Amino acid sequence: MNKSIVLTGITTTGTPHLGNYAGAIRPAIQASKDGHVWPFYFLADYHALIKCNEPARVKQSSLEIAATWLALGLDTSNAVFYRQSDVPEILELTWMLTCVTAKGLMNRAHAYKAAVAENEEADGSDPDKGITMGLFSYPVLMAADILLFNANKVPVGKDQIQHIEMARDIASRFNHIYGEHFVLPEAVLDDAAATLLGLDGRKMSKSYNNTIPLFEPEKTLRKLINKIKTNSLEPGEPKDTEGCTLFGIYQAFAHHHDVEAIRQRYAQGIGWGEMKQILFEKINEEIAPARERYEALLQAPDHIEQQLQEGAEKARAISRPFIKRLRSAVGISAMATGR
Ligand code: TRP
């Protein structure tokens, strides 16, 4: 088989929002229907533990994220859709990789460095204050996610590129010591994919608390769109599309000719109230059918579980024999029988 393996994971700590949808989920669902790729999409629940100590939240988020992918029409006949924790070979591989990973490489990870910098700014007495081994070695877990399936391409946001580079480093090191077992993965940054701004005009992100959750009921969606911050220009005054949160979101949901028509309306001074109404309708039109399926799926967790179990089985059909081969490569295997 010469299909290119595309793999990506979503950490189960939050509720998917419009930014996740336009930037990552929608293109991934599209790709799941493309016969040239073999997609592996998973719920990164072990990653969730790195930043979240609330069991109920991790559980709820896993349910919501799984329901979201299924409601949006993920093609599970082509895609392998699973929960990380259902594939124990990932953790076995994590240890094998941990043992060839230079500590110095991990010292350079952005997430770890940012946490240290924050401590140093605070009072500096302990630069590692509150930093767990989970956070420190998180890039190794991520490398295991990717390398276990020998993924060729990993679609990620900019903040994750370093982790893909680290996965390549770790894979090369392992290959050098134990033989060519791993493919070196490549990060795929989709420049065309939208980065949406949030309610306050900063990047839409759960860390800024400025998101519009994807499947809010229609009424709440309208309310949230009305809350998006705008400037104080009056109807009739020409407005800038550049850097405008409303326009940016509209662009992620509308066809080119509609976007151009709205650009005209900005020049002519469309009022913010009207623009918000137009935006609401555009988003709702795209989302509404999936929202109904989402609501139904949340009421049918058994069905979701069934899908995940089938996905895990497909994943393990690959990971079980591969981990056996890797164990043997590092010298962990049954005693030789016979003479
Ligand atoms: N760390 C990624 C994020 O926070 C999620 C993730 C975990 C991931 N494992 C992965 C992404 C493997 C791609 C491949 O966005």
Which residues of the chain form CATH 1.10.240.10? 215-296
Does the pLDDT of residue 339 top 60, yes or no? no
Out of 12, 90, 163, 186, give the residue to mutate to test ligand 1, the one with the largest number of ligand atoms within 8 Å of its CB.
163
Ligand 1-lining residues (CB < 6 angstroms): 7-9, 11, 44, 47, 142, 145-146, 154, 156, 160
Per-residue confidence (pLDDT) for residue 149, from 0 to 100? 98
Does the pLDDT of residue 46 top 60, yes or no? yes
Does the pLDDT of residue 193 top 90, yes or no? no
Tell me the CA–centroid distance for residue 78 and ligand 1, in Å.
Answer: 21
Which atom of ligand 1 is the closest one to the Cα of 159? 15
- Provide the pairing of β-strand 153-155 with 186-188: parallel
Tell me the CA–centroid distance for residue 261 and ligand 1, in Å.
Answer: 38
Q: From atom 8 of ligand 1, which residue's Cα is the shortest distance away?
A: 9
The Cα-based distances of 41 to 6, 183, 201, 244 in angstroms read: 8, 18, 30, 32
Q: What is the pLDDT of residues 90-106, one digit of tens each?
A: 999 999 999 999 999 99
Dist. CA 158–CA 147, nearest whole Å: 20
Q: What is the pLDDT of residues 50-79, one digit of tens each?
A: 999 999 999 999 999 999 999 999 999 999
218-246: average pLDDT: 97
Per-residue confidence (pLDDT) for residue 29, from 0 to 100? 94
Which atom of ligand 1 is the closest one to the Cα of 10? 5
Does the pLDDT of residue 20 top 70, yes or no? yes
Mean pLDDT value across the chain? 95
Tell me the CA–centroid distance for residue 166 and ligand 1, in Å.
Answer: 13
Tell me the CA–centroid distance for residue 51 and ligand 1, in Å.
Answer: 13
Which atom of ligand 1 is the closest one to the Cα of 47? 7
Annotation: CATH topology of 215-296: Tyrosyl-Transfer RNA Synthetase (1.10.240)
What DSSP line would sit under 215-268, residue for residue?
T--HHHHHHHHHHS----PPTTS----TT-HHHHHHHHHS-HHHHHHHHHHHHH
Architecture of domain 4-195+301-330: 3-Layer(aba) Sandwich (3.40)
Per-residue confidence (pLDDT) for residue 190, from 0 to 100? 73
Tell me the CA–centroid distance for residue 219 and ligand 1, in Å.
Answer: 32
Tell me the CA–centroid distance for residue 248 and ligand 1, in Å.
Answer: 25
User: Could you tell me the pLDDT band of residue 192, with boundaries at 50, 70 and 90?
Assistant: low
245-272: average pLDDT: 97
Q: What is the pLDDT of residues 126-137, one digit of tens each?
A: 999 999 999 999
